[in-house]
Amino acid sequence: MPSNVQNQGLNKNLLILHFTVFIWGFTGILGQLISISAVNLVWYRVMIASFSLFLYFKFNKTAFKLSRKTALKLALTGALVGGHWILFFASIKLSTVPVTLVCLSSITLFTAIFEPIINKKQTSKLEVIAGVFIVIGITLIFKFETQYTKGIIAGLVSAVLASLFSIINGRHVQKIEAPVIAFYELSGAFLWITLYLLGTIGLSGLVIPKLSDIGYLLLLGTVCTSLAYVAGVSVMRELSAFRVALITNLEPVYGIIMAFLFFNNTSTMSAGFWAGAAIVLSTIFLFPVAQKQVTKHRNR
């Protein structure tokens, strides 16, 4: 494949990923606006997302059947996806959107650690360094308080699960179309959360959302989940799990900017925010340059 065609494909995928991350940045705000519990919220989210993808397949007459073995693998990955989202929204409700997004920034560091182990490749010191800089940058944006310990733990475990399913999806997408992966994983997440509810509080414990919540849940389930999830998985055909995780760290920056625009919360736009955002942005955009220089140095 000619290098200019490769570059065009890379640039297109990067643009799609940035747009996807921008949409993900809005989920934290929706999580705070929706009044129901984290488990209830994610149950409705994945149900709406799975159903919307099913309608998409039927409307476009798209074949989406897979072998039992492959379907089971994707459904098991869906357990990681569901766990990530439950812990993400639980972290928001146990702390704040900013604190949760700080924790989410650690995806880069976890991916730098886990990807070489899962894909059996050498650990990149440059990736680990970039991951550390990301965590430092995001931490500068916000001030932690000891009362948010449970929220911080939930957020960090959520980041671990997100890192794991992103690496796994990087392998799935080489063989299966992204919308099909999204459908089976989100349906799997719906199944596992339903089984969890049956084994704990029962389906009677599901809260019927208020009218205002229904609108937010529909937006969360369609645009912020089915559409964004498909887009996020599709780019992994060209981009590594680490590169995706690196750009995903813009989610806190986008999220805080949107919170400022929607809620006019000027306190979030402090000097710490701009300093942290500068480190995050610099790391994200300078990483490919540093990686290229390291490759050139090795090839000498």
pLDDT tens digits, residue range 166-209?
Answer: 899 888 888 899 899 999 999 999 999 999 888 877 777 788 89
| pLDDT of 83 above 70 | yes
pLDDT tens digits for range 222-237 = 998 898 888 888 888 7
Q: How far apart are CA 110 and CA 156, in angstroms?
A: 10
Residues 17-39 pLDDT 10s: 888 888 887 887 888 788 898 88
DSSP state of 123: P
Using 50, 70 and 90 to split pLDDT, how confident is the model at 53?
Answer: very high
Residue 132 has pLDDT above 80, yes or no: yes
pTM of the shown model: 0.78
Asked if 92 and 32 count as a contact pair (C-beta separation under 8 A), the reply is yes
Give DSSP secondary structure letters for 15-64: HHHHHHHHHHHHHHHHHHH--S-HHHHHHHHHHHHHHHHHHHHHHHT---
- What span, in angstroms and rounded, lies between the C-alpha atoms of 255 and 25? 4
225 and 46 in contact (C-beta within 8 Å)?
yes
For residue 44, pLDDT beyond 60: yes
Residue-wise pLDDT for 242-296, tens only, equals 778 778 777 767 776 776 676 665 454 567 667 776 787 777 777 767 777 777 7
Which DSSP state fits 226? Answer: I
pLDDT at residue number 97: 75
Helices (H) and strands (E) in the chain, counts: 13, 0
User: Does 157 have pLDDT greater than 90?
Assistant: yes
Question: Which residues have C-beta within 8 Å of that of residue 273, sequence separation ≥ 6?
Answer: 141, 256
Tell me which of 66-80, 137-151, 184-198, 242-256 is least confident: 137-151
